[in-house]
Structure 1
Amino acid sequence: MKNKIINLLSEKIESLSAEDISSMLEIPPKAELGDFAFPCFRLAKELHKAPPMIAADIASGIGETDFIDHIDVNGAYLNFYLRKDAFVKSMVKNSAADNFGSSEEGTGKTICIDYSSPNVAKNFHVGHLRTTIIGNSLYKIYSKLGYKVERINHLGDWGTQFGKLIVAYKNWGDEATVKEKGVEELMRLYVAFHKAADEKPELNDEARAWFVKMEQGDEEALRIWKWFVEISLTEYKRTYSLLGVDFDHYTGES
């Protein structure tokens, strides 16, 4: 629709190129001012007329079209109001093309998008769903514009909470149940730790000690932690598969 208006104005304003008109054409700040607005200030010196008079002359010279409902002269501006039915038909027709919305503006450029980012050993909640959908939408948009897009899922996979989870697993968990129930069981163990720590604060010291072991590269601590991460990723990837979402990189705080 914008190109149609540019072509229409090009026929009426010989002194301006289509590129000039395109750069001058504006989207009004308020819907009641139309869909596009064209300022006539630049033409005043050349035509030796006041901009409002120029706007009125241009408007009077534009006949009926199949895509413009009407044109208002608002001071020095021409305000174009599109026919909504024509706009919708045009969008439906154009959107069927494979290259609809594509461009080469991002050719040779890379953009990194970090999204989703759930916390390991915790449920994937609506907040993660929101950022996953937004991030994946941005990925599709930038890809359509020619950018190379790196999709990054930065997991919350490090911190004292994993020391707590290891303590809980060793005290109240078992391998078979964790394998069967996955993140649900890890969440149960995490909640159980906090309830127990209210009565036995020394459990927090144990948790900190296990996290120190993780930081120091203790084999057992890292083995259990990596297992928790793998279990969580398996569940998250099932959700991503249902959403049609994928990532180029899974990274984390670790």
Structure 2
Amino acid sequence: MTDHIRSLVATFGDLPSNDVPEADPLRNPLDAFRLDVARQLHSSLDIPVEKAFEAVSTASKVADFSVAFPRFKLPGKPNDVAEKAYRDFQPSAYIAEASHQGAFVHYKVNHETMAKLTLATITELSSRGEDKGDAPSASKSKGSIKSAYGHNESGKGQRMIIEFSSPNIAKPFHAGHLRSTIIGAFLSNLYEANGWYVERWNYLGDWGKQFGLLAVGWERSGDEAKLKEDPIKHLYDVYVEVNAAAEADPSLHEKARVYFKGMEDGDESALALWRKFRDLSIAKYEETYARLNIHFDVYSGESQVTKQSISSALDAVRDSEYVERAENGAMLIDLTKYKLEKTVIERADGTALYISRDLAEAKKRWNLFKEKYGAGFDKMIYVVASQQDLHLAQFFKILDLSGFEGAKALQHVNFGMVLGMSTRKGTAVFLDKILEEAQETMESIMKQNEDRYKLIEDPQRVAYVLGESGVKIQDLTGKRHLNYEFSWKRCLSNEGDTGVFLQ
């Protein structure tokens, strides 16, 4: 505790003694008040301070804290036990008053103490700027979170991966990717604030026959200048054009197949073009993510999963009692016992599917953590739309049945769809265009009050922050598992629970 907080605390008495490991009153002022209640319960009823602390609930609707006495299973009637605790209560610099209601005692804080201690803690922790947690030093160059009010070390020593966003190269950054990006970034920040070491992974859709078709399209209508200016949009335009052309000329699909086979066989000329598309797209994604104050530690993708790792992953289940062969020779696994249906895990010709790539990738990540840190991850979260619920459940169960060490550490955080998301002109959705339009529209709204607009030092910057906040908060205000309708009017409104209002 610093001299500043010591001198403040001295004005209303010392902090309650802390005999509870999980309590952290120097980072979370609320814990000081809960400790004071716990201390009084210990004095009155001889309840261990740690158990008493756990019982002090902040979910009360009638006071700041409540304690339900039946949970202690003490001799006598819970109502009588609660009444004794109430009679023995002594107002302090932390707890101003108590009330008794049946088997409950409710407590109200001293608001003057709460305000002073909270403000002092915010000032102290925000100004210290210490690195927190035990994140490996390699992560610190990527902007590890500093000590600040609201942070704690409850997850210290635990490591995790959060996979989110995961757009497909040469395709629009659709609304599902936006939700995954916003929710995944929120979860990453939340776990880091609780002391976890977090790696943010972006698993790109960067492999498959569509890249053969894209290469064929590039020969037809590719433009280097447009590619450098906006690779994601230009590759999308090329892809749309060649798809339309292939409808009239099926031979283009055969050319695409041949080209992609060359990629799979390691043809360097084919891979060089693919690598250029991928690298330029990632650079553009990084620029767009930065506008949302989001970063990734790893850009992985389907291309990074080797044939050998897929074969190894499938070998782990090939002889399982759940595996069977379809009439066409494909290998499938029967998960109906777990109400997860049957699913193909290898085509008849031996080529991989999404689920077989996922199996191999999960094992690769586990082994990567073991090599780097001496143990696999403690948790890996996939932030993926609810349409993939069955796929993720099957994927997790197959890993579990194969004996994969990290199977219990996997978690799927799903979400509902965003409906009606497009630019105001109704064009295809690219995230950078949505953010640009949010900024432009916000600035036009600000200009409606010319006098105020002239007083703003950097109106473009303010419009950018307000627009970006509007997009983020509209997504976070909806219930995660439900669909919601994207609304420009609500997104940029300065009334109600909106990003503009919060700013």
Category of TM-score, reference length = shorter chain: 0.7 to 0.9
State yes or no: 1:25 paired with 2:52: no
Contact residue 35 and residue 53 of structure 2 kept, 8 A: yes
Q: Secondary structure at the match of 1:246?
A: coil
Return the letter of the residue paired with 1:119: N
Measured after TM superposition, the shift of residue 69 of structure 1 is 7.8
| Partner residue in 1 for 2:47 | 16
| Partner residue in 1 for 2:277 | 228
| Partner residue in 2 for 1:76 | 103
**Equivalent of residue 154 in structure 2, options 98, 105, 111:** 105
Q: Secondary structure at the match of 2:256?
A: helix
Return the letter of the residue paired with 1:199: A
| Partner residue in 2 for 1:141 | 190
**Equivalent of residue 89 in structure 2, options 49, 62, 65:** 62
Measured after TM superposition, the shift of residue 235 of structure 1 is 0.7
Q: Which runs of 5+ in 1 are unaligned?
A: none
Measured after TM superposition, the shift of residue 11 of structure 1 is 2.4
Contact residue 124 and residue 236 of structure 1 kept, 8 A: no
Measured after TM superposition, the shift of residue 153 of structure 1 is 1.8
| Partner residue in 1 for 2:33 | 4
| Partner residue in 2 for 1:164 | 213
Measured after TM superposition, the shift of residue 245 of structure 1 is 2.7
State yes or no: 1:52 paired with 2:83: no
Q: Secondary structure at the match of 1:103?
A: coil
Q: Secondary structure at the match of 2:61?
A: helix
Measured after TM superposition, the shift of residue 182 of structure 1 is 2.0
Moved more, 15-24 or 2-11: 2-11
Q: Which runs of 5+ in 2 are unaligned?
A: 1-29, 127-146, 304-503
Contact residue 52 and residue 73 of structure 1 kept, 8 A: no
Q: Secondary structure at the match of 1:44?
A: coil
| Partner residue in 1 for 2:68 | 39
Measured after TM superposition, the shift of residue 90 of structure 1 is 5.5
Contact residue 115 and residue 135 of structure 1 kept, 8 A: yes
RMSD of the alignment, in Å? 3.0
CA gap of 1:7–1:32, structure 2 versus 1, over 3 A, is closer
Measured after TM superposition, the shift of residue 242 of structure 1 is 2.5
Measured after TM superposition, the shift of residue 236 of structure 1 is 0.7
Alignment partners' CA distance in 2, 1:214 and 1:88: 63
Return the letter of the residue paired with 1:18: V
Larger Rg, first or second structure (1 or 2): 1
Measured after TM superposition, the shift of residue 64 of structure 1 is 5.3
| Partner residue in 2 for 1:185 | 234
Alignment partners' CA distance in 1, 2:36 and 2:109: 15
Contact residue 41 and residue 52 of structure 2 kept, 8 A: no
Return the letter of the residue paired with 1:40: F
Alignment partners' CA distance in 2, 1:91 and 1:126: 39
Contact residue 37 and residue 53 of structure 2 kept, 8 A: no
Instruction: Give TM-score, length-normalised by structure 2.
Output: 0.44
Question: How many residues get paired?
Answer: 249
Contact residue 121 and residue 229 of structure 1 kept, 8 A: no
Return the letter of the residue paired with 1:19: E
Measured after TM superposition, the shift of residue 13 of structure 1 is 3.5
Q: Deviations over 1:53-77 (max 9, x none)?
A: 2212323443556766865544322
Alignment partners' CA distance in 2, 1:236 and 1:2: 41
Contact residue 118 and residue 124 of structure 1 kept, 8 A: yes
Measured after TM superposition, the shift of residue 169 of structure 1 is 1.1
